[in-house]
Each structure stands twice: as structure tokens, then as C-alpha cells.
Amino acid sequence: MSKVNIAEEARSIAQKYQEKPEAVNKIDLLRKLDQSVTKMPSVISLSVGIIGILIFGLGMSCCLVWSDLFALGVVLGLVGAAVCIVNYPLYSKMVAAKKEELAPQIIRLSNEIAAGEQ
């Protein structure tokens, strides 16, 4: 390695550990807050959706593979479908609640950053 490459690598490593200006910290915080609005609702929604699909698949298996469990399969299929149908409204309500909870912080921080740029 040449001395130039080593010096550049050393500078890039040092930048990771240097304190950032306050404006950079605020924009990072704003990004994290914005991402947190949809992050947890997405995880919960995916989990509920996977559970619903598994229940639906179990119901289909009961109907198609085990003929004597046809009635149970229909019930499980309907329950799984209902869970999947309810999943999106559940996600929407969680996102709306999280937006309402974090909106004052996000707006205040956005205004601070915008005022600092002028």
C-alpha cells in the first residue's frame, strides 16, 4: 500500500470517531424518528401476516390432505383469511398512532434545522 492510501484510510477511520456538528446530529435524529414511525408497525404487520398465512395454509392442508378434517380446515382457512384481511388496517392504525405520537418532536426538530440553515 502506498503512503497516500494509508493516510486516506486513517482519515476515514478518524472521522468515524470525531464529534459531528450539532446540525448533523439533529438531522440524524430526525431521520431516526422518521424511520421509527413505520419500523415497528412493519415488523408487527409482517409477523401477523405470516401467522395468518400459516393458519390459512394449515386450513388448506386439512381440507386437501385429511378428508376427515374438512370442516376444521374450512374454519381454519376462514380464520387465516380474516387475520390477513385485518392486517393492513392494523398496520395503518399503528402508523397513524405513531405519527401522532412523534409529530410534535419531528416538527420541532425540522423547524430547528430549517432555522439553523438560514
The tens digit of pLDDT for each residue in 36-54 reads 888 999 999 999 999 999 9
Going from N- to C-terminal start, the domains of the chain cover: 19-117
pLDDT confidence of residue 52: 95
All 3 cell numbers of residue 6? Answer: 494509508
pLDDT confidence of residue 67: 81
pLDDT confidence of residue 98: 92
**Is pLDDT at 27 greater than 90 in this prediction?**
no
In angstroms, rounded to a whole number, what is the distance separating the alpha carbons of residues 75 and 51? 15
Single-letter code of the amino acid located at 110: S
